[in-house]
């Protein structure tokens, strides 16, 4: 046969652009995620001078009673919180999706409130209520709020929205025909619940439990503020690194912190594989009928949750405006005069806003471009697989561990990128990478809803791919992009653990200032600072809602039929 | 091959595909495919799902390049060129209309650059909108159009740049039967008026037979036959084509001397096996409209008796299922002649098949 020579495709301009972007993405994720983590791993096997010491650090870790105890403490506190939060969140989500209670939008909004506040805010509020000068101290029957009780209570508040959100998504998509079929077979309500509802929510339950457990194990702020003398992993790693400058032991604790997260990640993957698609194209959406025996208790539960969430935030706001808790309850702005408590003063908040703004801007651009190139560029080969893997990894890496990896990696004298250390840029990069995965998944979901032939169509019309990206992909995905933007901003504003190792004297974010002021005994000022963070986030969220509907009208007119 | 001549286009050649293969990892989707398309010709790729039609079309478009072989268009070797450097317009099965652009925006999407100043582009869009009859809908978004209207927008968009080659991937499969029939004649009319060389992928044989100049029948990554609709229907080159294109009853048989086929106790004259050695195994196909029943069969020498196994009413014709010695045949009888034949289930009826209408292929 004549022409069996292999065809060597000539890459067009579009493909070269996509390839280039993919290379940049791979380089970015390698430099700011994979290499720092690899370096963390290496450091765990070295001594302070950089000599290889095998498992000596791990041996030292296991035989240091305080360290081993902190691991155990972290575990049971996280387990207890998970046991409290997941059932509560399930009932709440069930009420939002499977009942006919009134005021669902209100409950939904209240549910998300804790996400907008730093995790320190509930801890501070609890101290106002149950601390040494607390108004309701008697309720604890002589126990101290400083320690496991305080940690668990504050964590329940802080983790609730995460679990409730996951579960309400899991419960939202129910196939009404299954319930009709069951009713036709005269199946009782309880059996319907255990044979239809629960199985369809299994993945959501596993996922929520994993998320809550990981959040608790890796959260630094709450344990720091309300943990008292109760050692947990997160505070221990801080002590090792910042207190004792023992970076190698810090790396070991970091790896230990990584274990539950990675385990949870794998567990979630497993559950995901077992979860059959809940909704097919032909499903009929389940619409609950009114039933008082179900709706009244659920409404009461939702009200109780809403009251608890709102009052905890309310206490923090009120406490921040009180002259001298609890002896002089007159209102004052004095606690907001941050300059009196912390040299950075209001600049800390400004810095936080700048950091969150930059994270949101760059993060959204990077996340969306990378997701686009992965979905619409060259799909096969090792490079896309590597980038895809790296993009899903930050979800399993606690902020504290990532921060630790950064400090080790960028502080390394040999690293040419060392100049980043202590700058705003490293804070931005760290937050961006830390919150990467959720944004990536949002972007991928949005892009997958577009016709896969858009790029082919535009190539056949000889329109360059970037023009189609600009004229078609971006406008259609604008709602998802705004979603990512707000998510990054809000999280960068509130994060403590991702930046605790990385801020410099001139780059102290507000969330860190809260920790410092609390450490210095200025808990009213700390609460005030936490409230300003909440206010900024609340403002942005409201702006998003208002702008969102305007932008919707302006760019999404084509969706209307 | 029976009609090697038909493998070449009647007029001057515009597009040639030579020895093209396509592999996805270890899987070979196209095996050494060759064909050519004449200037202004309308060619259909016809075959069952997964046979590689789309793959071949995308190799011609450069959207997924061939692994080996050569593709030339208008004398230019385009095998390895990226799609943007080729000259074609394409309509996708999903249409891939840009949902956030209106009809005019979609049609004019590719009219940019120095070649298309604003005024000229606008005039071209207006002209195309008129061609496909969407004047009233120019400002609507795709989601506000019916499936057939969307299809026309996609067609107009593909034609906007006056491409030399128009590629259609199952352009009608998303539409209901009546709209399909109307649109396929419209597509053919537009194609003829513009004289643009066109390749259409379809798995609907009626569609392919009704509007193509020539049909390329594909199976499992290979070309089974290339020919005019009539050739493909009347003289299928292989057992696959005979069974895939058009309706037929089929059975296994053995070749007997003097151009006869035997299946059980039934023996038929079949010109097609004249050149096969006696005793060879063959598979035979007979189209329902070629089977003569009752009085009409009497004139044929080899007529035999069969039992009616079932009658289907199909509107203009009735399809009679016949049992002969363990072999099943089908015969079509015009509905208005049914009364005269006096057929009922289990009735016995005289059957004949003209020897030149039996299609048979060596088997096994
Ligand atoms: N990107 C790919 N990777 C692997 N295999 C593929 C790919 N694209 C197509 N194939 C395989 O190649 C074969 C031919 O696919 P193709 O899409 O060309 O079929 P088709 O004839 O167009 O079928 P249909 O009528 O269903 O559209 C199929 O078996 C398909 O699974
Ligand atoms: Mg196809």
Which CATH number fits the domain that encloses residue A81?
Answer: 1.10.3720.10
Ligand lying closest to the C-alpha of residue B58: 1
Distance, in Å, from the CA atom of B233 to the CA atom of B229, rounded to the nearest integer, reads: 6
* Residue A226 and residue A115 share a domain: yes
A331 DSSP assignment: E
Distance, in Å, from the CA atom of B39 to the CA atom of B12, rounded to the nearest integer, reads: 6
Distance, in Å, from the CA atom of B262 to the CA atom of B243, rounded to the nearest integer, reads: 20
Does residue B331 carry a pLDDT above 70?
Answer: yes
- Of B357, B300, B301, B361, the closest CA to residue B332 belongs to B357
Distance, in Å, from the CA atom of A94 to the CA atom of A52, rounded to the nearest integer, reads: 53
Chain A residues touching B82 at Cβ < 8 A: 9-15, 459
Q: B185 to chain A, minimum CA–CA distance in Å?
A: 24
Please judge whether B99 and A558 are an interchain contact, meaning their C-beta atoms are less than 8 angstroms apart: yes
CA-nearest residue of chain A to B111?
Answer: A461
State the pLDDT at residue B287. 93
* Residue A223 and residue A266 share a domain: yes
What proportions of chain A, in percent to the nearest 5, are helix, strand and coil?
75, 0, 25
Which tokens is B225 given?
Answer: 């036959």
Strand order in the sheet with B327-334: B292-293, B348-352, B304-313, B317-324, B327-334
Which tokens is A514 given?
Answer: 């809260």
Of B80, B98, B101, the CB nearest to A9: B80
Does residue B284 carry a pLDDT above 70?
Answer: yes
CA angle B254, B259, B264 (to 5 degrees): 30
The radius of gyration computed from the CA coordinates of chain B, to the nearest angstrom, equals 24
pLDDT tens for B98-110 read: 988 999 999 999 9
* Residue A273 and residue A161 share a domain: yes
State the pLDDT at residue B160. 93
Of A7, A458, A462, the CB nearest to B80: A7
- Confirm whether the ipTM is greater than 0.90: no
Interface of B with A (CB under 8 A): 18-19, 21, 32, 61, 63, 65-70, 79-85, 88-90, 92, 94, 96-102, 109-110, 112, 141-144, 157-158, 160-161
Contact (CB, 8 A) for B161 and A462: yes
Is A168 domain-assigned?
A: yes
State the pLDDT at residue A379. 67
- Of B238, B236, B237, B276, the closest CA to residue B254 belongs to B276
Distance, in Å, from the CA atom of A105 to the CA atom of A107, rounded to the nearest integer, reads: 5
* Residue A66 and residue A7 share a domain: no
Contact (CB, 8 A) for A119 and A319: no
Which long-range CB contacts under 8 A does B335-341 form with residues at least 24 apart?
B340/B294, B341/B293, B341/B294
State the pLDDT at residue A364. 96
State the pLDDT at residue A2. 43
- Work out which ligand 1 atom sits closest to the CA atom of B201: 22
State the pLDDT at residue B1. 41
Contact (CB, 8 A) for A84 and A156: yes
Residues 6+ apart with CB under 8 A from B64: B22, B55, B58
Is A328 domain-assigned?
A: no
Chain B residues touching A458 at Cβ < 8 A: 109-110
* Residue A112 and residue A33 share a domain: no
Residue B6: strand pairing partners: none
Range of the domain at A209: 54-277+294-319
Half-sphere exposure of A277 (CA within 13 A, CB side): 5
Tens digits of pLDDT across chain A (561 residues): 444 567 777 778 888 888 899 999 999 999 999 999 999 889 888 887 777 888 888 888 888 887 888 889 999 999 999 999 999 999 999 999 888 889 888 998 888 888 899 888 888 888 888 877 777 777 777 778 888 999 999 999 999 998 998 888 888 767 777 787 888 888 888 888 888 888 878 888 888 898 899 889 888 889 988 888 898 988 888 888 888 888 888 888 888 888 877 887 788 777 766 665 544 445 566 777 778 888 899 999 999 999 999 998 998 888 888 777 777 777 777 778 777 777 777 888 999 999 999 999 999 999 999 999 998 887 677 888 889 889 988 887 888 889 989 988 988 888 888 888 888 999 999 999 999 988 998 898 888 888 888 999 999 999 999 999 999 999 888 888 998 999 999 999 999 888 888 888 888 899 988 888 888 888 888 889 999 999 999 999 999 888 877 877 776 667 665
Q: A550 to chain B, minimum CA–CA distance in Å?
A: 16
Number of domains in chain A: 2
Which residue reads 């035979």 in tokens? B284
Do you find a cis peptide bond into A326, omega within 30 degrees of 0?
yes
* Residue A554 and residue A442 share a domain: yes
CA-nearest residue of chain B to A478?
Answer: B100
Is A345 domain-assigned?
A: yes
Q: Which residues surround ligand 2, an ion (CB under 5 A)?
A: B 54
CA B291 to chain centre: 24
The radius of gyration computed from the CA coordinates of chain A, to the nearest angstrom, equals 25
Contact pairs from chain A to chain B, CB under 8 Å: 113
Quickly list H helices, chain B: 53-61, 103-107, 118-131, 147-159, 177-194, 205-211, 229-234, 239-244, 295-298, 338-341
State the pLDDT at residue B2. 41
Is A329 domain-assigned?
A: no
* Residue A67 and residue A153 share a domain: yes
Of A468, A475, A559, the CB nearest to B143: A559
Does residue B3 carry a pLDDT above 50?
Answer: no
Contact (CB, 8 A) for B153 and B138: no
Interface of A with B (CB under 8 A): 1-15, 451, 453-454, 456-464, 468, 471-472, 475-476, 555-561
Contact (CB, 8 A) for B241 and B234: no
First to last CA, chain B: 19
Mean pLDDT of chain B: 89
* Residue A363 and residue A496 share a domain: yes
State the pLDDT at residue A276. 53
* Residue A207 and residue A72 share a domain: yes
- Work out which ligand 1 atom sits closest to the CA atom of B218: 21
pTM reported for the whole predicted model: 0.84
3-state secondary structure of B22: strand
Q: What is the largest CA-CA distance in chain A?
A: 98
**Which segments of chain B are extended strands (E)?**
13-24, 27-38, 42-46, 68-73, 76-77, 89-91, 165-169, 197-202, 214-219, 222-227, 249-256, 260-263, 266-269, 281-286, 292-293, 304-313, 317-324, 327-334, 348-352, 359-362
The residue whose CB lies within 8 Å of the most ligand 1 atoms, and thus the one to mutate among B21, B25, B53, B55, is: B55
Residue nearest to atom 2 of ligand 1 (CA): B24
Strand order in the sheet with B281-286: B266-269, B260-263, B249-256, B281-286, B359-362
Q: A473 to chain B, minimum CA–CA distance in Å?
A: 9
CA dihedral sign, ordered A182, A183, A186, A191: positive
CA-nearest residue of chain B to A470?
Answer: B100
Neighbours of B49 (CB within 10 A): 7
User: Which helix (H) or strand (E) segment is A342 a member of?
Assistant: none
Helix axis angle, A523-555 relative to A474-494, nearest 10°?
A: 180
B282 DSSP assignment: E
- Work out which ligand 1 atom sits closest to the CA atom of B57: 18
Chain A residues touching B101 at Cβ < 8 A: 471-472, 558
Of B21, B67, B84, the CB nearest to A13: B84
Is A162 domain-assigned?
A: yes
State the pLDDT at residue A275. 60
Cα of B23 to ligand 1 centre, how many Å? Answer: 11
Distance, in Å, from the CA atom of B320 to the CA atom of A532, rounded to the nearest integer, reads: 85
Quick one: pLDDT band at residue B265, thresholds 50, 70, 90? confident
Residue nearest to atom 3 of ligand 1 (CA): B24
Whether B26 lines ligand 1, by a CB cut-off of 6 Å, is no
Residue B286: strand pairing partners: B249
3-state secondary structure of A11: coil
Is A286 domain-assigned?
A: no
Distance, in Å, from the CA atom of A353 to the CA atom of A371, rounded to the nearest integer, reads: 26
State the pLDDT at residue B338. 83
pLDDT tens for B238-257 read: 999 999 998 898 989 999 88
- Of B197, B267, B210, B262, the closest CA to residue B36 belongs to B197
* Residue A267 and residue A189 share a domain: yes
Contact (CB, 8 A) for A234 and A220: yes
Please judge whether A460 and B83 are an interchain contact, meaning their C-beta atoms are less than 8 angstroms apart: yes
Which residue reads 């919180």 in tokens? A81
Is A333 domain-assigned?
A: no
Of B90, B98, B142, the CB nearest to A460: B90
Whether B29 lines ligand 1, by a CB cut-off of 6 Å, is yes
Of B68, B85, B88, the CB nearest to A7: B68
Is A287 domain-assigned?
A: no
* Residue A361 and residue A430 share a domain: yes
Whether B48 lines ligand 1, by a CB cut-off of 6 Å, is no
Which of A6, A461, A554 would best serve as a mutation to test chain B binding (most B beta carbons within 10 A)?
A461
Whether B203 lines ligand 1, by a CB cut-off of 6 Å, is yes
Distance, in Å, from the CA atom of A216 to the CA atom of A153, rounded to the nearest integer, reads: 11
* Residue A3 and residue A74 share a domain: no
């Amino acid at each position: 046969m004549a022409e069996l020579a292999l065809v060597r495709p000539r890459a067009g301009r579009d493909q070269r652009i996509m390839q280039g972007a993919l290379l940049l993405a791979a380089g970015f994720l390698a430099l700011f995620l994979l290499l720092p983590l690899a370096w963390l791993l290496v450091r765990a096997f070295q001594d302070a001078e950089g000599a290889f010491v095998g498992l000596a650090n791990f041996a030292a870790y296991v035989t240091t009673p305080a360290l081993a105890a902190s691991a155990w403490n972290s575990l049971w506190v996280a387990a207890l919180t998970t046991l409290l939060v997941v059932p509560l969140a399930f009932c709440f989500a069930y009420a939002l999706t499977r009942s006919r209670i009134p005021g669902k939008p209100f409950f939904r909004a209240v549910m998300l409130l804790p996400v907008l506040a730093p995790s320190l805010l509930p801890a501070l509020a609890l101290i106002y209520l149950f601390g040494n000068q607390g108004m309701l101290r008697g309720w604890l029957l002589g126990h101290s709020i400083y320690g496991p009780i305080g940690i668990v209570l504050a964590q329940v508040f802080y983790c609730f929205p995460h679990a409730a959100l996951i579960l309400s998504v899991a419960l939202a998509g129910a196939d009404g025909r299954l319930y009709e079929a069951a009713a036709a077979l005269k199946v009782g309500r309880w059996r319907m619940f255990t044979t239809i509802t629960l199985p369809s929510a299994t993945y959501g339950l596993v996922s929520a439990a994993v998320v809550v457990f990981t959040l608790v194990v890796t959260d630094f702020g709450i344990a720091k503020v309300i943990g008292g003398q109760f050692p947990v992993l997160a505070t221990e790693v801080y002590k090792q690194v910042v207190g004792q400058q023992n970076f190698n032991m810090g790396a070991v604790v970091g790896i230990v912190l990584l274990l539950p997260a990675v385990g949870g990640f794998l567990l979630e993957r497993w559950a995901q594989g077992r979860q059959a698609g809940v909704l097919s194209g032909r499903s009929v959406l389940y619409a609950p009928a009114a039933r008082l025996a179900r709706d009244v208790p659920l409404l009461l539960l939702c009200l109780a949750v809403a009251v608890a969430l709102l009052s905890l935030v309310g206490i923090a706001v009120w406490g921040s405006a009180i002259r001298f808790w609890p002896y002089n309850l007159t209102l004052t702005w004095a606690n907001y005069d941050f300059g009196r408590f912390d040299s950075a003063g209001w600049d800390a908040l400004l810095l936080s806003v700048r950091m969150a703004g930059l994270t949101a801007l760059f993060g959204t651009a990077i996340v969306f471009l990378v997701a686009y190139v992965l979905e619409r560029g060259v799909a096969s080969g090792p490079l896309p697989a590597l980038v895809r893997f790296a993009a899903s990894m930050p979800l399993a890496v606690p902020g504290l561990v990532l921060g630790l990896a950064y400090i080790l990696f960028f502080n390394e004298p040999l690293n040419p990128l060392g100049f980043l250390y202590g700058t705003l840029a490293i804070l931005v990069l760290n937050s961006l990478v830390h919150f990467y995965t959720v944004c990536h998944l949002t972007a991928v979901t949005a892009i997958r809803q577009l016709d896969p032939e858009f790029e082919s169509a535009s190539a056949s019309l000889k329109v360059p791919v970037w023009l189609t990206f600009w004229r078609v992909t971006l406008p259609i995905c604008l709602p998802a992009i705004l979603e990512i933007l707000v998510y990054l901003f809000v999280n960068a504003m509130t994060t403590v653990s991702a930046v605790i190792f990385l801020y410099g004297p001139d780059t102290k974010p507000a969330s860190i200032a809260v920790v410092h002021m609390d450490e210095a005994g200025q808990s009213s000022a700390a609460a005030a600072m936490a409230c300003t963070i909440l206010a900024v986030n609340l403002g942005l969220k409201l702006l998003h809602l208002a702008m969102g509907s305007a932008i919707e009208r302006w760019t999404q007119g084509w969706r209307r039929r | 091959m029976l009609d090697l001549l038909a493998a070449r286009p009647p007029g001057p050649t515009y597009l040639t595909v030579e020895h093209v293969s396509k592999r996805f990892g270890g899987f070979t989707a196209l095996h050494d495919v060759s064909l050519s398309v004449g200037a202004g010709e309308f060619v259909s790729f016809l075959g069952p799902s997964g046979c590689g039609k789309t793959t071949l079309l995308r190799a011609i478009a450069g959207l997924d390049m061939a692994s080996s072989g050569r593709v030339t268009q208008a004398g230019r070797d385009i095998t390895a060129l990226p799609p943007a450097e080729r000259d074609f317009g394409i309509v996708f099965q999903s249409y891939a209309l840009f949902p956030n652009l209106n009809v005019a925006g979609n049609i004019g999407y590719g009219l940019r650059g120095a070649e298309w100043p604003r005024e000229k582009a606008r005039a071209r869009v207006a002209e195309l909108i008129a061609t496909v009859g969407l004047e009233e809908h120019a400002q609507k978004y795709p989601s506000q159009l019916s499936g057939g209207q969307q299809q026309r927008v996609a067609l107009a968009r593909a034609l906007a740049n006056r491409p030399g080659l128009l590629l259609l991937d199952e352009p009608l499969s998303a539409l209901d039967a009546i709209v399909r029939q109307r649109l396929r004649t419209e597509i053919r009319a537009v194609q003829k008026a513009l004289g643009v060389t066109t390749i259409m992928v379809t798995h609907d044989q009626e569609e392919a037979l009704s509007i193509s100049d020539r049909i390329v029948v594909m199976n499992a990554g290979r070309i089974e036959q290339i020919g005019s609709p009539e050739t493909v229907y009347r003289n299928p080159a292989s057992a696959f084509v005979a069974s895939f294109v058009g309706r037929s009853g089929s059975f296994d048989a053995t070749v007997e001397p003097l151009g006869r086929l035997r299946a059980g106790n039934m023996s038929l004259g079949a010109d097609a096996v004249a050149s096969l050695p006696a005793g060879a195994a063959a598979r035979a196909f007979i189209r329902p409209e070629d089977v003569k029943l009752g009085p009409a069969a009497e004139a044929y020498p080899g007529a035999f008796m069969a039992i009616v196994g079932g009658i289907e009413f199909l509107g203009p014709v009735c399809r009679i299922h016949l049992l002969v010695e363990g072999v099943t045949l089908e015969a079509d009888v015009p509905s208005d002649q049914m009364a005269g034949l006096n057929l009922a289930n289990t009735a016995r009826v005289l059957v004949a098949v003209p020897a030149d209408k039996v299609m048979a292929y060596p088997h096994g």
